[in-house]
Chain A
């Protein structure tokens, strides 16, 4: 069966041979289905039910083991809940500061680590990637030790340059700074690798042509590397944005959402609502609100990066 369906179509493609703009070869719909089939089938089998189930649950309220249909009441509740507003504000702040910071750092690092003249290249790459492979439990202990107010490594460093100790995890402002720093530490190497892989897709001819035209390093970086990397940068931006809006692990471990909810995020909040207060209906409503917000932000990012559909 597969062989008949995968038999090449003899129809010539509308934009055969083209590179830019030829994002898809028109008329080849059947093979397209077959390539996405395994993934779509797996999603349908394993995720359709959980997704619909969580949506369904968001119309229920559960107390004392009894579920009752409450219509849109859980969604109305979202708008009167100060913790929902606060958690959204917190991730908004993190998103605006952390994602550009991290994507730019990762882009710069990847570019430097891709230079052919660089010595110890593998070693440098591996060291920058190390944070991405840390287990969560080691990560949590290491950061709590580094950020401890009394005798923590960071405060000892600050003391060496004559600064007073900072109450990293107990102050509302500093706990946000600590959180942003620790997410950036953990995820920059990850994005660096993805961009590094993307850099390999840039044809060497483009660099050569630019050099012949007398372009400097900065010009090559901005005029050739960045435009060529657009899909990869879009990928990095969108996944980092989703990561920031769904932030959970880091604040769960480091601050538990405190102090005074300064590092509470929507996912941490819905975890508390669902798994500590057992209000799975409301937790699902928070989740779907978050999905809506992420979807809007992602569409905006697609539009900004001007991806042709």
Chain B
């Protein structure tokens, strides 16, 4: 009883936080069931309306929504798979090995985080154009496979990784790569999960680069396709809200699946064993 009382404030804090986080979403849900005209009215509608199916049909017709959803999924899955391997390897190398030029590599990684993307767009575009990669998915995936944010995240995660584990694997005769895949990666599962969540979302929501690269509507990814609903003097807000809402669902699913890895005790058990 006393314990429950002590925990009550925690629940209260979390409830307030949750409310602040989801109220805008609830409004998106409501907005996607009204006409755009209704969204300009005062007071704003507070209850769901009856336009959901019409909005959905228009969304599908104007943006070929199901197709762009598949496009986005293909790009994000391929990107996440490869980028996470590259980031984890590089982060591990930087955290656990001492070699000449290590500081330089870390500095270079951080530098690519520090430079505003906007000034790199034109030269990167020129490169893609001269490679003939305009309007291709490799142009969305390859240049950003090495991701500074991910490398830095994994480096920080591996810093405190117990060397004893790595050493014992080596003494058992495992190769460096095998040690990495069999010993290090499984123990670092929570951090890998965080990396995968981050990587998937960043590719899924990526907008400016795909907009510059993709030139035919059948190749559009979600944000680029939704952007076509924004016109010069006409914005289809209810369609946009519905599209954004549907675009969010796969991300939530990814989060819920991967956050299962956030369970204490993996590391403790590993050190003991």
Contacts and interface: CB of A to CB of B under 8 A. Distances in A.
Interface string A210-247: 00000000000000000010011011001100100010
Interface residues of A, number: 116
B124 A46 contact: yes
A92 to B, nearest CB: 16
B199 interface: no
Interface stretch (A75-83, A93-101, A130-138): A130-138
A125 interface: yes
Interface of A: 2-3, 6-9, 13, 15-19, 22-36, 38-40, 42-43, 46-47, 49-51, 53-54, 57, 109, 112-118, 122, 124-139, 141-143, 145-146, 150-151, 153, 156, 185, 189-190, 193-194, 196-205, 228, 231-232, 234-235, 238-239, 242, 246, 248, 266-267, 270-271, 274-275, 280, 283-284, 287-288, 290-291, 294-295, 298, 309
B10 A135 contact: no
A303 B184 CA distance: 28
B interface: dominant SS = helix
A146 B108 contact: no
22 contacts: A6-B175, A7-B175, A8-B174, A19-B164, A23-B96, A31-B176, A32-B93, A38-B146, A39-B109, A40-B108, A50-B127, A109-B17, A133-B251, A138-B240, A150-B42, A197-B261, A200-B264, A201-B157, A201-B267, A228-B160, A283-B119, A287-B119
Given A38-B86, A200-B264, A29 B248 contact: no
Given A133-B251, A284-B119, A295-B114, A49 B105 contact: no
Nearest to B111: A291
Interface string B102-131: 110100111111111011101110010000
A16 B102 CA distance: 21
Given A16-B167, A23-B159, A35-B92, A197 B193 contact: yes
A136 to B, nearest CB: 6
A-B pairs with the 4 shortest C-beta distances? A32-B97, A35-B93, A138-B244, A29-B99
Contacts of B43: 151, 156
Q: Which of B21, B153, B240 has the most chain A CB within a 10 Å cutoff?
A: B21
B59 interface: no
Interface in B19-57: 20-25, 27-28, 31, 39, 42-44
Nearest to A32: B97
B5 interface: no
B211 to A, nearest CB: 12
B96 A201 contact: no
B226 interface: yes
A242 B92 contact: no
A26 to B, nearest CB: 5
Contacts of A138: 28, 240-241, 244-245, 248
Contacts of A145: 27, 39, 44
A270 B116 contact: yes
Contacts of B99: 28-30, 32-33
B44 to A, nearest CB: 7
Given A46-B127, A137-B240, A291-B114, A126 B255 contact: yes
Given A25-B97, A25-B167, A200 B115 contact: no
B87 interface: yes
Contact of B153 (A25, A43, A143, A235): A235
B173 interface: yes
Contacts of A151: 42-44
Contacts of B134: none
Nearest to A143: B24
Given A36-B89, A54-B115, A203 B271 contact: yes
B13 interface: yes
Nearest to A291: B114
Contact of A29 (B28, B100, B152, B265): B100
B177 A142 contact: no
Q: Which of A31, A125, A135, A231 has the most chain B CB within a 10 Å cutoff?
A: A135
Given A19-B162, A242-B114, A124 B14 contact: yes
Contacts of B190: 196-198, 200-201
A142 B28 CA distance: 7
A198 B157 contact: yes
B24 A54 contact: no
Given A125-B259, A127-B18, A235 B98 contact: no
Given A19-B162, A32-B99, A137-B240, 11 more contacts: A39-B86, A46-B144, A122-B256, A136-B223, A138-B240, A141-B31, A143-B24, A145-B39, A151-B44, A204-B264, A234-B156
Contacts of B77: none
B194 interface: yes
Contacts of B173: 8
